[in-house]
Amino acid sequence: MSEGVLETAREWLAQDPDEATRAELSDLISRAEGGDSAATADLHDRFDTRLAFGTAGLRGALGAGSNRMNRVLVSQAAAGFAAYLRDRAGAETPSIVIGYDGRRNSDVFARDSAEIFAGAGLRAILLPRLLPTPVLAFAVRHLGASAGVMVTASHNPPDDNGYKVYLGGDDDGAQIVSPADAEIAARIDEVAARADLGSIPRSDDYEIADESVVEAYVTATAVVAPAPAGAAGLNWVYTAMHGVGYETLARVLETAGYPAPTVVAAQIEPDGRFPTVAFPNPEEPGAMDLAFETARGADAELIIANDPDADRLAVAIPDAAAPGGWHRLTGNEVGLLLGWRAARTATSGTLACSLVSSPGLQTIAEHYGLDFTATLTGFKWISRAPGLVYGFEEALGYLVNPGTVRDKDGISATVAILGLVAEAREEGRTLGDLLDESAATFGHFASGQVSLRVDDVSVIGRIMTALRAAPPASIGSVAVERMEDLLTAPEGSPRGDVLRLWLEDGSRVIVRPSGTEPKLKAYLDVRGESAEDAAARLSGVDAGVRAVLDAAQA
């Protein structure tokens, strides 16, 4: 048994203010001291490394230890971030807005942060209750704050939580990017090295934001797409996926003039246990089953789902050929529909998407004479595209109102989709008809994803190394024309741990590690002469990519 890890655990225990994690850690230490090898291994997993602070902030499983989300780690992060903001502000007093969702301990982490920010001399403003992430992103700009923190793990598994960071000023309310992440991380490490949480100043002198902030978000979001006449009688279903979206969305719907949905009752109230889903992510198999069941019972025309912090949106439409009679649209399908909507009314500006999202957005931009930008994954990059009028990423993220929010926003995207549906209804058409028209106008694009979840994240590194050392000559029966390694991309181009393969038939495969989960992801994009041709091409690429990844693991 390593005495070092025991000593580290005891130091952590001495400063932990949380009764639950103290009991958890105390039990582990006792068992390890008694020779329990499983307890010793658990301590090493919790303390041999530290949950890294990066451009996604912090995200990880709840529990005691430096490699978990807990009150010690969050307090250290708040103190380090406060020091960074004071350095950045110079003689001025920085201000910061803190929001939180319905996950376990989100409210606790938010109050700890508010107290520590106030104790550091910042003007700290805590949102009045649990609210969606887009409201926090909006509040940073609306209040002219120096920064914002949202306590959420978005659509991660139930036992996770996270700490998402935004910057005001020149960053205009966007999420942090390099070098800010490294500078903040260095400040956090300085706090953690002292191992003395009790010495961090705290104060109850923080503000609670009033309802005017939420009202301003509701008003700004409702004007994204005021309900046209075709909205009357719209019969649709909504699920909040046990998250915090519905209260705010309902106010937006009323203001914009849309009929209220039939809700998935078992999932409409915030519940951090997420009892009806294994993963609270509309993309995951089974996550929308209750929504499909509700929609069949209501004979609905449309299903809309938000993820737990309501920054993502999923859409499903009736499809007799689909299992259960409902088909969930891909993120790319929704993204291209909303991109088409934005392009029709824009006279200038940029459509942007992450480089793993459908190349169809570039086709739309070119059709309307607009600029196009492909960025690294994440809205921290998409939101910074010059002249942005619309941005999306295939992982169900859409930014339809960049003048209001500089992050993906599942609530404003819901209003935009409802606007499209209502306009189509006026013409006796459906969202499916709009998809067909889009394909006829811009091309038959099809996309897919191969996702490899691992227990040991080092496996991902080994696969990426193997692919770089011996790039595949073909994907299935189609030859690889070239492979681009974005680690060595030219100056000015997106750089990251990403491999982009171009096939001879114009198809594209992009491979990268997930930024938030222990997964390796491969993104597949094809364009066919028809929907059937595109589906056939996609099937061949999918099989070929799976074979390549299997070989890289061997």
| pLDDT tens by residue, 112-169 | 999 999 999 999 999 999 999 999 999 999 999 999 999 999 999 999 999 999 999 9
Catalytic residue IDs: 154
345 CB-near residues (< 8 Å, 6+ apart): none
Domain match, 108 and 201 both:
yes
Q: Are 117 and 205 in contact (CB under 8 A)?
A: no
Domain finish residue from 387, 408, 441 = 441
Domain match, 414 and 455 both:
no
Token output for 317: 């439409």
Domain match, 495 and 410 both:
no
Domain match, 527 and 378 both:
no
Range of the domain at 19: 1-48
Burial code of 283-316, b = ≥16 C-beta within 10 A, e = fewer? beeebbebbbebbeeeebbbbbbbbbbbbbbbbb
Q: How far is CA 543 from CA 434, 506, 525, in A?
A: 30, 17, 13
In total, the chain counts a number of residues equal to 554
Q: What is the CA radius of gyration of the chain?
A: 24
Alpha helix positions (H), 90-223: 106-119, 133-142, 180-194, 211-222
- Please tell me whether residue 469 adopts helix, strand or coil conformation: helix
DSSP 216-263: HHHHHHHTTS---GGGTT--EEEE-TTSSHHHHHHHHHHHHTPPPPEE
Domain match, 310 and 172 both:
no
73 CB-near residues (< 8 Å, 6+ apart): 51, 58, 66
- Least Cα distance to 155 among 530, 408, 442 occurs for 408
Residue 172 maps to a domain: yes
Tokens 């914009």 locate to 256
Q: Tens-digit pLDDT profile for the chain (554 aa)? A: 578 899 999 999 999 999 999 999 999 999 999 999 999 999 999 999 999 998 779 999 999 999 999 999 999 999 999 999 999 998 899 999 999 999 999 999 999 999 999 999 999 999 999 999 999 999 999 999 999 999 999 999 999 999 999 999 999 999 999 899 999 999 999 999 999 999 999 999 999 999 999 999 999 999 999 999 999 999 999 999 999 999 999 999 999 999 999 999 999 999 999 999 999 999 999 999 999 999 999 999 999 999 999 999 999 999 999 988 999 999 999 999 999 999 999 999 999 999 999 999 999 999 999 999 999 889 999 999 999 999 999 999 999 999 999 999 999 999 999 999 999 999 999 999 999 999 999 999 999 999 988 888 889 999 999 999 999 999 999 999 999 999 998 887 888 899 999 999 999 999 999 876 788 999 999 999 999 999 999 999 999 999 999 888 87
307 CB-near residues (< 8 Å, 6+ apart): 154, 155, 241, 243, 280, 281, 282, 314, 396, 410
Residue 219 maps to a domain: no
Domain match, 205 and 240 both:
no
Which DSSP letter does residue 38 get?
Answer: H
Per residue in 216-227, pLDDT (tens digit) is 999 999 999 999
Residue 163: count of CB within 10 angstroms of its CB: 26
CATH code at position 503: 3.30.310.50
Domain match, 77 and 137 both:
yes
Domain match, 132 and 171 both:
yes
Task: Indicate the number of domains in the chain.
Answer: 4
pTM of the model: 0.93
Residue 221 maps to a domain: no
Token output for 178: 């390099």
Question: In degrees, to the nearest 5, what angle opens at C-alpha 399 toward C-alphas 436 and 352?
Answer: 75
Q: Are 79 and 120 in contact (CB under 8 A)?
A: yes
DSSP 360-410: HHHHHHHHTT-EEEEESSSHHHHTTSTTEEEEEETTTEEES-TTT-SS--H
Q: Is 160 exposed, middle or buried (0-12, 13-18, 19+ CB in 10 A)?
A: buried
Task: Give dist(CA 248, CA 83) in Å, integer.
Answer: 33
Domain match, 42 and 69 both:
no
Token output for 11: 């130091």
What is the Cα 365 distance to its own chain's centre?
A: 24
| 3-state helix vs strand vs coil in the chain, percent to 5 | 45, 20, 35
